[in-house]
Amino acid sequence: MRNIVTLACLLTVIATPGLTQDPACYALETPSEDYGVNTMTLSNEGEINYTMTGSPYVTYEFSCDFDGMDQASCSVECDGGNVTLLRFPDRVLADFTHLRIESARIESIATQIGSMEADGTQISGLFKLAPAPAAVCKAAADLRQPLLLEPGDLYPAVERLEEYLFKGGYFNDVADWYFTAETAEAVRQFQAESGDPVTGTADWALLQKLGIQASYSFGGC
- Give the range among 35-49, 86-100, 150-164 with minimum mean pLDDT: 150-164
Would you tell me how many other CB atoms lie within 10 Å of the CB of residue 50?
A: 24
Residues 121, 99: Cα–Cα separation, whole Å: 8
- Give the range among 65-74, 150-159, 171-180 with minimum mean pLDDT: 150-159
Strand order in the sheet with 37-43: 71-75, 82-88, 91-100, 122-132, 25-28, 37-43, 47-52, 55-63, 104-106
Residue 111 pLDDT: 52
Average pLDDT over residues 135-157: 77
Residue 163 pLDDT: 83
Higher pLDDT, 20 or 155: 155
Residues 57, 92: Cα–Cα separation, whole Å: 25
Q: What is the pTM of this model?
A: 0.60
Q: Report residue 197's pLDDT band, with 50, 70 and 90 as the boundaries.
A: very high
Residues 130, 25: Cα–Cα separation, whole Å: 8
Given a cut of 70, is residue 105 above it in pLDDT? no
Residue 135 pLDDT: 92
Alpha-helix residue ranges (DSSP H) falling in 80-210: 134-141, 156-167, 181-194, 204-210
Residue 5 pLDDT: 37
Q: Report residue 214's pLDDT band, with 50, 70 and 90 as the boundaries.
A: very low
Average pLDDT over residues 201-211: 75
Please state at what angle helix 181-194 crosses helix 156-167, rounded to 10 degrees: 50
Q: Name, in order, each residue with C-beta under 8 angstroms of 6's C-beta and a sequence gap of 6 or more.
A: none
Contact 216, 103 (CB under 8 A): yes
List of long-range contacts for 177-180, beta carbons under 8 Å, 24+ apart: 178/153, 178/154, 179/149, 179/150, 179/151, 179/152, 179/153, 179/154, 179/155, 180/151
Q: How far is CA 36 from CA 3, 169, 193, 201, in A?
A: 21, 39, 44, 37
Given a cut of 60, is residue 7 above it in pLDDT? no
- Give the range among 3-12, 41-50, 87-96 with minimum mean pLDDT: 3-12
**154 beta partners:** 178
Residues 19, 88: Cα–Cα separation, whole Å: 9
Query: Domains in the chain, start-ordered, CATH in brackets?
Result: 4-141 (2.40.160), 156-210 (no CATH)
**122 beta partners:** 100
Residues 168, 67: Cα–Cα separation, whole Å: 34
Q: Report residue 106's pLDDT band, with 50, 70 and 90 as the boundaries.
A: low
